[in-house]
Amino acid sequence: MRLEVRANPSAMATLLAGVGAVVFTLLVCALLILWANANVFAAYGAIFQGALGSQFAITETLTRATPLMLTGLAAAVAFRARLYNIGAEGQLYFGAMAAVAASVAMSNEAGELALPTFIAMPLMIAAGAVAGAALLLIPTLLKTRFKVDEVVTTLLLNFIALLFVSMLLDGPMKDPTAMGWPQSRALLPELEFAKLVERGRVHVGLLIAIALAIVLWIVIGFTRFGLSIRAVGANAKAAEFAGISVNATLIKVALLSGALAGLAGVGEVAGRTSYVTLDMSPGYGFSGIVIAMLAALNPLGVVFASVFVGGAIVGADAMSRAVNVPTYIADVIVATALIAVLVASLLTKYRVRWK
């Protein structure tokens, strides 16, 4: 078996590849559902109902999609410059922790907000973004200065970040009213994000994430900084030769990527949980990588990919209650879709010869 380059991949082939990837994913997961002794149509119906079948379902899906969108953007922008940020999980926790710390810092002795909300709110958001950015800056400087592989350092920093947060939750940031539960002090209610719909959990963070996706898409495609990111990612040597400072670009990208992951943490605290716990993210930072790959590193694609993944998770939850297939099917759907999309994009670029 060999791959031959296609001269000009047609738009039709690209579309067919996308449809093919979806059909392939549904077929593979159907086999697993059959194996679990459930009715395939009932299971898929339940997933769809659970994800998009009602207003409540849709708001739940979008609530899930919000942090995924931000970590997805964090991965997409970093990977565009070939800065492999595997540390979005830690950056998310840092962002969340910094938001709470900002809230504490901005409150007076009576535990009320000492500043007007319209000042305090941006400061809290900024604190989260800066914390995430700072955490990614360390491995990036190690990369630009000493050529230390950032895949290893960002990955391992996740554990350090989580342990550090855990220490804060047991120490200075411990919630005095939590009866010994490892959770942080609560965010001041004035700093919580407004909800978008009544009796739903979806919050303003979603709008922020979508707006950032659009801004990022414009930055990458239409600005000098975006061109530098793409040039550095595609060929750092040639970019350097053309007068683009590779190190400066990487550092800027790191600040941007870390800030986006930090914002995911801010969104979770301010929009959903109000306080930091060690189980507030079920691996959103890592799912962000999958989402970025599904979206072919396109920021607008990230919006749709994160809704897809969020929907799969929420839908699978509902489905497992209805037809008794484990919720792990959501992970399988996402993983299979990723592989199918990667293979499909390969097939639009190459032709397979079976000889």
Partner 1 sequence: MNYGRTSSSDLQSKSSNPSEINLAVTALSLQHISKRFGSLIANDDISLTLGRGEVLALLGENGAGKSTLMNILFGHYVADSGSISVFGETLVPGKPQLALARGIGMVHQHFTLADNLSVLDNVMLGAQSLLSLRSQRTAAREQLNDLSQRFGLTVSPDAVVRNLSVGEKQRVEILKALYRGAKILILDEPTSVLTPQEVEQLFGTLRHMVAEGLSVIFISHKLDEVLAISTQIAVLRQGRLVHECAAREATKESLALAMVGRDVKRVQRAETDHTAPKSVALSVRSLALAHESSRVALSNVTFDVAAGEIVAIAGVSGNGQRLLADGLSGLHRVATGQILLNGRAQTMGARAAIDAGVARIPEDRQHVGAVGDLSVWENAMLPRTHEARFSKLSWLNRGGARRYTDALVKQFDVRLSSIEQPIRMLSGGNMQKLILGRELDGAPSVVIAAQPTWGLDVGAVSFVHEQLLNARARGAAIVLISEDLDEVFALADRIAVMCNGRLTTARDATEWSLQSLGLAMAGHSDSQPSKLEAQHAT
Question: Contact positions toward partner 1, by CB under 8 A?
Answer: 2, 4-8, 222-227, 230-231, 234-235, 237-245, 353, 355
**Cα 278 from Cα 265, distance rounded (Å):** 12
How many residues belong to the chain?
355
Closer by beta carbon to partner 1, 199 or else 353: 353
> Could you tell me which of 12, 25, 24 has the C-alpha nearest to residue 348?
12
Closer by beta carbon to partner 1, 27 or else 352: 352
User: Measured from the CB of residue 297, what is the shortest distance to partner 1 in angstroms?
Assistant: 12
User: Measured from the CB of residue 352, what is the shortest distance to partner 1 in angstroms?
Assistant: 12
Closer by beta carbon to partner 1, 221 or else 283: 221
The whole-angstrom distance between residue 81's C-alpha and the CA centroid of its chain comes to 17
For residue 268, CA distances in Å to 21, 22, 172, 249 come to 32, 30, 21, 29
CB 129 within 8 A of CB 257: no
Closer by beta carbon to partner 1, 6 or else 321: 6
Q: Environment class of residue 93 by beta-carbon count within 10 Å: exposed (0-12), middle (13-18) or buried (19+)?
A: buried
User: Measured from the CB of residue 222, what is the shortest distance to partner 1 in angstroms?
Assistant: 6
User: Measured from the CB of residue 3, what is the shortest distance to partner 1 in angstroms?
Assistant: 11
User: Measured from the CB of residue 231, what is the shortest distance to partner 1 in angstroms?
Assistant: 5
Closer by beta carbon to partner 1, 195 or else 230: 230
CB 351 within 8 A of CB 6: yes
CB 258 within 8 A of CB 136: yes
> Could you tell me which of 23, 15, 11, 13 has the C-alpha nearest to residue 337?
23
Q: In the structure encoding, which two tokens stand for residue 71, read together?
A: 């970590």
Provide DSSP, 74-109: HHHHHHHTT-----HHHHHHHHHHHHHHHHHHTB-T
Task: Kindly calculate the radius of gyration of the chain based on its CA atoms and give it in whole angstroms.
Answer: 22
User: Measured from the CB of residue 224, what is the shortest distance to partner 1 in angstroms?
Assistant: 5
> Could you tell me which of 178, 182, 176, 204 has the C-alpha nearest to residue 111?
176
Closer by beta carbon to partner 1, 55 or else 235: 235
The whole-angstrom distance between residue 307's C-alpha and the CA centroid of its chain comes to 11
Among left, alpha and beta (phi > 0; psi -120 to 50; other), residue 270 is alpha
SS3 call for 143: helix
Closer by beta carbon to partner 1, 8 or else 108: 8
Instruction: Name the one residue in this structure whose structure tokens are 């938001």.
Output: 99
Closer by beta carbon to partner 1, 119 or else 238: 238
User: Measured from the CB of residue 289, what is the shortest distance to partner 1 in angstroms?
Assistant: 21
User: Measured from the CB of residue 298, what is the shortest distance to partner 1 in angstroms?
Assistant: 14
User: Measured from the CB of residue 132, what is the shortest distance to partner 1 in angstroms?
Assistant: 23
Closer by beta carbon to partner 1, 39 or else 235: 235
Those residues with Cβ within 8 angstroms of residue 198's Cβ, 6 or more apart along the chain or in another chain: none
